[in-house]
Each structure stands twice: as C-alpha cells, then as structure tokens.
Amino acid sequence: MGEIKLPLSALIKPVVTVTPVLDPNNLTEEEIARIKALLEENNTFPEGTEIIVSKDASVSIKYPDGSIDLILPAEIVKQADTTAPAITDDAKGNIVVAPTKEAVEFVVTYVDNNGKAQLVVVTKGADGKWTTTAKAVIVDPVTGQVIIPGSAIKPGTVVTAYSKDMAGNVSDLNSAEVEAVDANNPAAGVKVKSVTSTSNANKSTKKAKQLPNTGEKATSATSLGLAVLGMGLALFAAKRKKDEEEA
C-alpha cells in the first residue's frame, strides 16, 4: 500500500491579519491589494501559490498541487471605525482632542492667538506610546489625548481633527467652533461652542448650531469660525489629501 500524500491545503494553515475596510461587502482595489500583500508577507507559501481576493472579501488560496484554502470574509476583514476624534473642553479653558481606539495617527488644526494656523500630528509608535513634535500642546503618551492650552487658541475660530487607522483608512472630520470662556478675561481660555462632523462622503451633520435662548442659527461667530477654518485647513487639506492617497 502506497504512502498517502496529503494536499497542501491540509498541511498549511494560513496566517491571517484582520484588516479594517470601509465596506466589507465591496472592497476597493487598494483594499484588495493590501489584503493580498499581508497574506504574502505573513506566510511562506510554496512557489506557484495563487491568492485571489474577491470584492466581497472572500479569499481563495490555490496551491501548486491544485488544492485550495478558503478564507471567509469575517476572518479577514472588519468594518473600519471612521468616527472622528472627539473635540471637547475640560471646563478649565483648554481644548481636549481624544483619538478613537483604532487610530494610530491623528491630525489636529487650530488657530493660535496670532491668527496663524497650526498643524499637530500625533502618532502611535510600535511601543504603543503616543508622541508629537508640536511644542504648544500636551500629549498623554498612554491614551493619546491632546490638550491644547486655551491661552494658545484664538477665540471665535475652529479646531479640527481626523485620524487614520492601521490600514490607512481616514476617519470623518470633526470641526469645533471655540469661544472665549470670559470675553473680559483672556486668561480664562476657551470652550467648545458647537461641533460639526463631516463624513468621508462629504455629508455634514451639524450639532448645537443655535444661539442660546433664541432658536436662531449662529451667524457672525459661526461665519468667522468657518472663515478661519478655511485658512487653517490650508495645512490640513494638504495633509489629509496625502493620507488619502497613501491609504
């Protein structure tokens, strides 16, 4: 009786990395390429092995002997979290920006007291610690939370934030209009007046955009904040475009 030779699919157990994607049922060409590259990087398949990644995230690995491994979508992709970093104030006159759990990098813009747009890039290192080269902000190395001193921000302007995950997916954008805590005391810092969240599809959801006790939409302060946002986003847009191109 001859020796029974097992198919390669019975001998090889592919190492799989779960990749966050924007739509698990309709992968982009870039996402397909990323998943294939990760499989090739994490495994040493026999020469002649063919990896086929479908748009619905199902994966077939065809070995040289004709045997096939099938990987289910749920085993290799998950829905990306595109929630934008939260922008709040700490009730002490400072602005606080907090990344989401999946973020490995996030970008913050604000306008300083001289009217100059400032760009802050915060990254999570291989050791899990968060850092930035920006001098004017405080970063918690464990949580990634960024504190922008209120004394460094021009009242009536806009603070923005977005993030990237490990797969390069870019989150939605949060834009927070800030106002002085006490118009007669600049040292009191600023607080968040309203927040606008804009999705990657460029759809906006506006929150708390009404003046207190009137029910009317904010006008002058909002217009000023959005005008300054346009100036501040000169740096932000260039950075975000680059991130999306790299994703």
Residue at which a domain ends, from 35, 53, 79: 79
- Identity of the residue numbered 150: G
Please give the pLDDT value at position 222: 35
Shared-domain flag, residues 114 and 60: no
User: How many structural domains compose the chain?
Assistant: 2
**Average pLDDT over all residues of the chain:** 85
Residue 44: which domain range?
8-79
Distance, in Å, from the CA atom of 63 to the CA atom of 44, rounded to the nearest integer, reads 12
pLDDT at 228 over 50: no
Q: What is the pLDDT of residues 165-190, one digit of tens each?
A: 999 999 999 999 999 999 999 899 99
Q: Is the pTM of this model over 0.85?
A: no
Shared-domain flag, residues 143 and 242: yes
The 10 Å Cβ neighbour count of residue 17 is 13
pLDDT at 70 over 50: yes
Shared-domain flag, residues 66 and 103: no
Q: What is the pLDDT of residues 92-140, one digit of tens each?
A: 999 999 999 999 999 999 999 999 999 999 999 999 999 999 999 999 9
Token readout for 178 is 């800030």
Shared-domain flag, residues 179 and 237: yes
Please give the pLDDT value at position 199: 86
Shared-domain flag, residues 18 and 64: yes
Of the chain, the percentage scoring pLDDT greater than 70 comes to 80
Cα distance from N-terminal residue to C-terminal residue, the chain: 55
Shared-domain flag, residues 112 and 177: yes
- Show the CA angle centred on residue 241, arms to residues 237 and 246, nearest 5°: 150
Distance, in Å, from the CA atom of 85 to the CA atom of 146, rounded to the nearest integer, reads 10
